């Protein structure tokens, strides 16, 4: 990303966060249904806090913070920065108001324009690198905005729609054709390289620190499903007693099935005896051909056992995906679609993040950056699983084969689905 492209990227991303909020009612901005979700207003403020904390305060001479107390209020988890307002209570912050948060954003944007114009600044390269990190960080929060909002809207019995319209086209397009039979793409494996060589935080060819260093892994011959598991296929797992058969489940997964009484994916419902699902467009008929979504890692693993397959490893996924182009839609679909296209592997980035069976751990030789910014990824490399690809609420230019997303295996409020793998 050239320096002027960096300014454009900054402006575009900041604007996209505001555009995502346009369909909201003012009453929606504080919604926080659970501790693991954050209100829209908090995402708007925290992404600004990131630029203020990691760029403006250290690098812009005489920068005046918009409000000193925001340092604590909108700090997510950076212990080296200092105290944090308790995450489960973010929804209680009726002040600052939405208006005040919008002014905070403008204040940060103006100061950032000033900072990015200081090309003779002695730390200009680091400023560009951190700005790029801030852009990618905001893109991550744009996805969280959708997943958190969907979760909070779903607990309302009125099943409010975030936005009407778009999926009707997707529904009519897809309901006329049978789902393509799943096929296996075969790979011989061997010694292959995964990860990236670029210096972490490079602003030209961006990758997060957790994608480095590039290194060699050995893969046994394997096959990947050419598309994601569909709603109809997952319904067959349920009909076959999938949620009642402990032999299909990891012990930790079975414990969650019992304690949470899981019977189906997160947003599946019945209305007048018909299968429906909650979407960002409200309750919609469940499309049997669409990729099954909002699946935990445990459910993905149990489904794979039932299907006499397994989840891919992250190395298998990256190796196989590296030879293909990014298939993300040009527009944000907000809902997974049925598989289509003519590439060997379909739905790599466009529909649902794909659970892998790989533990989220550092690559050999990984070292987090010094200081608070080093808390970005490294300290979360414990008890989580890696997901690969992207989703219908990701920004297309945020995704790449080496991207390592990560969540706890019981998490299912992300747009997460299943791509099967097997040994050859």
Give the footprint of Fe ion on this chain (CB under 5 A): 76
Q: Cβ closer to Fe ion: 81 or 229?
A: 81
How many other CB atoms sit within 10 Å of the CB of residue 40? 24
Q: How far is the CB of 19 from Fe ion (least distance, A)?
A: 19
Q: How far is the CB of 368 from Fe ion (least distance, A)?
A: 16
Are 335 and 286 within 8 A, CB to CB?
Answer: no
Place of tokens 């994601």: 228
Q: Cβ closer to Fe ion: 76 or 397?
A: 76
Alpha-carbon span 374 to 81, nearest angstrom:
11
Q: Cβ closer to Fe ion: 76 or 126?
A: 76
| Residue environment code for 375-410, b if the CB has 16+ CB neighbours within 10 A, otherwise e | bbbeeebeebbbbbbbbbbbbeebbbbbbbbbbbbb
Please, which residues have CB within 8 angstroms of residue 192's CB and are 6 or more apart in sequence?
216, 217, 218, 219, 315, 319
The number of residues making up the chain comes to 424
Q: How far is the CB of 101 from Fe ion (least distance, A)?
A: 15
Q: Cβ closer to Fe ion: 76 or 384?
A: 76
Q: Cβ closer to Fe ion: 129 or 139?
A: 139
Are 201 and 369 within 8 A, CB to CB?
Answer: yes
Give which of 181, 179, 185, 180 is closest to 317, Cα–Cα.
185
Q: How far is the CB of 13 from Fe ion (least distance, A)?
A: 14
The strands making up 353-359's β-sheet, listed across from edge to edge, are: 405-407, 385-388, 353-359, 416-417
Tokens at residue 30, please? Answer: 């504080």
Tokens at residue 389, please? Answer: 């690809």
Give which of 316, 319, 322 is closest to 399, Cα–Cα.
322
Q: How far is the CB of 141 from Fe ion (least distance, A)?
A: 6
How many other CB atoms sit within 10 Å of the CB of residue 414? 26
CA distance to 213, 316, 394, per residue, from 312 (Å)? 21, 6, 21
Q: Cβ closer to Fe ion: 16 or 76?
A: 76
Tokens at residue 145, please? Answer: 């905005």
| Residue environment code for 150-159, b if the CB has 16+ CB neighbours within 10 A, otherwise e | bbbbbeeeeb
Q: How far is the CB of 46 from Fe ion (least distance, A)?
A: 6
Residue 301 has φ and ψ, to the nearest 5°, of: -65, -40
Q: How far is the CB of 50 from Fe ion (least distance, A)?
A: 6
Q: Cβ closer to Fe ion: 26 or 77?
A: 77
Are 419 and 310 within 8 A, CB to CB?
Answer: no
Q: How far is the CB of 139 from Fe ion (least distance, A)?
A: 11
Q: Cβ closer to Fe ion: 76 or 97?
A: 76
Q: Is the dihedral of CA 110, 111, 114, 117 positive or negative?
A: negative
Q: Cβ closer to Fe ion: 209 or 277?
A: 209
Q: How far is the CB of 373 from Fe ion (least distance, A)?
A: 12
Q: How far is the CB of 44 from Fe ion (least distance, A)?
A: 12
Give which of 44, 346, 18 is closest to 180, Cα–Cα.
346
Tokens at residue 211, please? Answer: 């994608």
Q: How far is the CB of 144 from Fe ion (least distance, A)?
A: 8
């Amino acid at each position: 990303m050239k320096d002027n492209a960096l300014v454009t990227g900054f402006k575009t991303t900041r604007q996209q966060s505001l555009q995502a909020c346009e369909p909201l009612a003012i009453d929606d901005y504080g919604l926080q249904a659970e501790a693991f979700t954050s209100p829209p207003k908090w995402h708007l403020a925290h992404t600004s806090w990131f630029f203020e904390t990691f760029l403006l305060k250290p690098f812009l001479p005489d920068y005046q913070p918009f409000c000193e107390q925001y340092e604590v209020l909108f700090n997510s988890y950076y212990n080296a920065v200092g105290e944090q307002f308790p995450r489960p209570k973010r929804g209680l912050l009726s002040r600052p108001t939405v208006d005040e948060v919008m002014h905070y954003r403008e204040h940060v944007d103006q100061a950032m324009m000033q900072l990015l114009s200081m090309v003779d600044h002695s730390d200009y390269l680091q400023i560009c690198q951190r700005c790029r990190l801030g852009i990618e960080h905001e893109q991550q929060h744009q996805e969280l905005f959708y997943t958190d909002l969907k979760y909070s809207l779903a607990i309302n019995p009125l099943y409010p729609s975030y936005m009407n319209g778009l999926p009707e086209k997707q529904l009519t397009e897809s309901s006329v054709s049978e789902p393509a039979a799943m096929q296996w793409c075969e790979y011989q494996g061997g010694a292959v390289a995964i990860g990236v060589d670029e210096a972490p935080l490079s602003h030209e060819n961006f990758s997060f620190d957790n994608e480095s260093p590039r290194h060699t892994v050995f893969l046994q011959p394997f096959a990947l499903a050419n598309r994601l598991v569909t709603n109809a296929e997952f319904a067959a797992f349920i009909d076959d007693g999938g949620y009642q058969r402990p032999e299909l489940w990891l012990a930790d997964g079975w414990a969650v099935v019992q304690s949470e009484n899981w019977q189906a994916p997160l947003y599946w419902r019945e209305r007048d005896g018909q299968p429906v699902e909650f979407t960002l467009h409200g309750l919609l008929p469940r499309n049997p051909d669409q990729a099954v979504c909002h699946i935990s890692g445990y459910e993905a693993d149990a489904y794979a056992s039932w299907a006499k397959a397994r989840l891919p490893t992250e190395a298998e996924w990256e190796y196989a995906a590296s030879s293909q182009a990014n298939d993300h839609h040009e527009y944000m679909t907000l809902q997974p679609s049925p598989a289509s296209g003519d590439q060997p592997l379909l739905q790599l980035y466009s529909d649902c993040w794909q659970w892998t069976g790989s533990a989220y751990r550092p690559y050999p030789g990984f070292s987090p950056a010094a200081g608070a910014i080093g808390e970005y990824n490294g300290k979360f490399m414990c008890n989580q699983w890696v997901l690969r690809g992207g989703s219908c609420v990701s920004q297309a230019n945020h995704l790449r084969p080496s991207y390592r997303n990560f969540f706890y295996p019981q998490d299912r409020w992300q747009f997460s689905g299943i791509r099967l793998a097997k040994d050859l």
